[in-house]
Amino acid sequence: MASSGQVSFKLEDHPKLPKGKRIAVVVLDGWGEYKPDQYNCIHVAQTPTMDSLKQGAPDRWRLIRAHGNAVGLPTEDDMGNSEVGHNALGAGRIFAQGAKLVDLALASGKIYDGEGFKYISESFEKGTLHLIGLLSDGGVHSRLDQLQLLLKGASERGAKRIRVHVLTDGRDVLDGSSVGFVETLENDLAKLREKGVDARIASGGGRMYVTMDRYENDWDVVKRGWDAQVLGEAPHKFKNAVEAVKKLRENANDQYLPPFVIVDDNNKAVGPIVDGDAVVTINFRADRMVMLAKALEYQDFNKFDRVRVPKIRYAGMLQYDGELKLPSRYLVSPPEIDRTSGEYLVHNGVRTFACSETVKFGHVTFFWNGNRSGYFNPQMEEYVEIPSDVGITFNVQPKMKALEIGEKARDAILSGKFDQVRVNIPNGDMVGHTGDIEATVVACKAADEAVKMILDAIEQVGGIYIVTADHGNAEDMVKRNKSGEPLLDKNGDLQILTSHTCQPVPIAIGGPGLAPGVRFRSDVPNGGLANVAATVMNLHGFVAPNDYETTLIEVADN
Ligand SMILES: O=C(O)[C@H](O)COP(=O)(O)O
Ligand SMILES: [Mn+2]
Ligand SMILES: [Mn+2]
């Protein structure tokens, strides 16, 4: 706890639980609990390991909350996501997250008084304001209503020429919904034009194919965006963005639309980014904006040929990486997630190994450690990234690198070099997002096999396991009405749910090293992801800091 300005990271000994056990912390990505039907891929898949854990209920298996207020999101209708989920798991407390902080800053108008807005507004007189980001109401990376408020606020404060570079979603929202979002935005921009603001959509593309890669998996994705947004070059040229999205959807879904630029009557791009302009990346979530932020901000940059590097005033909606201070200017201060469990544990002698494949690597490192890149103490930690497949949608390879992650974790456990071995197993989530039900079933089976590999290793060394998930996804693949029945679209087709869900997630503890009498408490019925950190600290033999959310376990006297 902080005392006289100094943080002491010393944890108290747990009165009943021993130190020195090897502990596997397994996070299944996108693995919620839902009624067993044909659209519940976890139920349909063979998942003997996860099924066997369930038999430990209620003492060693239970459900915890992973969405809404339990993870610091604005409302109970907000589904969970990896960022807020892993933040809560790692930090042991609930922080108001980016979505909420931006809401508050817009509502109070404070966003316009901050350094970031003042900085970009210096370009309003002579330059163009460019807004780049995900266009949907998914609330995971960005929200349309926040963009709308920012457009209004910026134009009222002097922005005379505005260009919006849209990234279509279909991943946190239904596929096909991009058309409606672009129409809504076009209406707003038309209203601004009536008021004398030269406001237009300048470019676009699907989020997974244009711009929003993460953890440096595939820089080509960012380059395609750069070419369209900055250089004004793209394979597809249209006069109108609604027409562009409708046309391009004939051959691709929203997530994967190819890049396009909007051109004028002379076939000239209407909104390349040039010297003197201002740029705001409107996503509040970090992982899929960091790469673009680097391309926009870094002078030394060799990930792709930027061709032309305009001298711009750039601000992020938030600062995306506190350690890298990236970007250096931002409109809203990010949550200050301090004193995470990872930091405490290295100070208390717990040696940690963390691993996932590229697309989830930052989840068990960067997000887990409070949006902080790098090690707390390289002598005590080792983070291993297994390269993800590039350039495919994961329904094509639904097993992903699950078994490789399992093997790395197993070897780390058996090596005796680590006290905590932490992994993220991505399949349920990454394949769930493709909306391919059959492939998601294969994905869930692979994830279960990886869990088995880890639990077997824990068995062998007399260790402890804790298995949980960050939010739901694969357990429900259709959109439903209020009574839970699947919804059909106007053609009578099932509406496939590519997004996360608001379902709770399982948590299980066990292993030969678990002291007798350890069981889930029954007096924390509303426990959520933020309660996991204190639980893990207990299993390592420590009491969590006072301000952490309470532990989920107790030790019964036998
Ligand atoms: O970025 C993504 O892939 C989705 O928007 C959310 O998925 P995640 O929160 O599981 O990463
Ligand atoms: Mn996730
Ligand atoms: Mn996801």
pLDDT band for 382, please (50, 70, 90 cuts).
very high
For the segment 490-509, the average pLDDT, to the nearest whole number, is 96
Lowest mean pLDDT among 173-182, 487-496, 506-515: 487-496
How far apart are the C-alpha atoms of 445 and 29, rounded to whole Å? 13
Residue 1 scores a pLDDT above 90 = no
Residue 278, phi then psi, degrees to nearest 5 = -110, 145
Q: What is the pLDDT of residues 72-95, one digit of tens each?
A: 999 999 999 999 999 999 999 999
Closest ligand, as measured to the CA of 170: 1
Pick the atom of ligand 1 nearest to 473's CA.
10
Residue 468 scores a pLDDT above 50 = yes
Domains along the chain?
15-95+337-555 (3.40.720.10), 99-332 (3.40.1450.10)
| Residue closest to 227 by CA, chosen among 203, 244, 251 | 203
Q: What is the pLDDT of residues 270-319, one digit of tens each?
A: 999 999 999 999 999 999 999 999 999 999 999 999 999 999 999 999 99
pLDDT band for 2, please (50, 70, 90 cuts).
very low
Q: What is the pLDDT of residues 236-278, one digit of tens each?
A: 999 999 999 999 999 999 999 999 999 999 999 999 999 999 9
Give the pocket of ligand 1 (CB within 6 Å): 29-30, 81-83, 140-141, 171-172, 288, 429, 433
**List 3, 52, 82, 388, catalytic entry:** 82
Q: What is the Å distance from ligand 3's center to 504 Cα?
A: 15
pLDDT of residue 552: 99
Pick the atom of ligand 1 nearest to 82's CA.
9
pLDDT band for 6, please (50, 70, 90 cuts).
confident
Closest ligand, as measured to the CA of 212: 1
Q: What is the Å distance from ligand 2's center to 5 Cα?
A: 35
Residue type at 138 in one-letter notation: G
Mean pLDDT (the chain, rounded):
97
pLDDT of residue 366: 96
Q: What is the Å distance from ligand 2's center to 485 Cα?
A: 25
Residue 380 scores a pLDDT above 50 = yes
Residue 428 scores a pLDDT above 60 = yes
pLDDT band for 7, please (50, 70, 90 cuts).
confident
Q: How many CB atoms lie within 10 A of CB 44?
A: 19
Q: What is the DSSP string of 135-200?
A: ESS--SS--HHHHHHHHHHHHHTT--EEEEEEEE-SSSS-TTTHHHHHHHHHHHHHHHHHTT-EEE
pLDDT of residue 531: 99
How far apart are the C-alpha atoms of 274 and 276, rounded to whole Å? 6
Closest ligand, as measured to the CA of 28: 2
Annotated binding site for substrate, which residues? 141, 171-172, 207, 214, 285-288, 360
Residue whose CA is at the smallest distance from ligand 1 atom 1: 288
Q: What is the DSSP string of 376-400?
A: S-TTTEEEEEEPPP-SS-TTSSTTT
How far apart are the C-alpha atoms of 71 and 87, rounded to whole Å? 8
Q: What is the pLDDT of residues 399-411, one digit of tens each?
A: 999 999 999 999 9
Pick the atom of ligand 1 nearest to 169's CA.
5
Q: What is the Å distance from ligand 2's center to 10 Cα?
A: 31
Q: Say whether 328 is catalytic.
A: no
